[in-house]
Chains A and B, each alone.
Chain A
Amino acid sequence: DAGVTQSPTHLIKTRGQQVTLRCSPKSGHDTVSWYQQALGQGPQFIFQYYEEEERQRGNFPDRFSGHQFPNYSSELNVNALLLGDSALYLCASSPSGAPNTGELFFGEGSRLTVL
Chain B
Amino acid sequence: QKEVEQNSGPLSVPEGAIASLNCTYSDRGSQSFFWYRQYSGKSPELIMSIYSNGDKEDGRFTAQLNKASQYVSLLIRDSQPSDSATYLCAVNGGTYKYIFGTGTRLKVLA
Contact = CB atoms under 8 A, between A and B. Distances in A.
B49 to A, nearest CB: 6
Nearest to A56: B96
A42 B100 contact: yes
B18 interface: no
Contacts of B26: none
Nearest to B100: A42
Interface of B: 4, 8, 31-32, 34, 42-46, 49, 51, 88, 90, 92-103
Interface of A: 33, 35, 40-45, 48, 50, 55-56, 58, 88, 90, 99-101, 103-109
11 contacts: A41-B103, A42-B88, A42-B100, A42-B101, A43-B100, A55-B96, A100-B31, A101-B92, A103-B34, A108-B43, A109-B43
By Cβ-Cβ distance, the 5 closest A-B pairs, closest first, are A42-B100, A106-B43, A100-B92, A56-B96, A45-B97
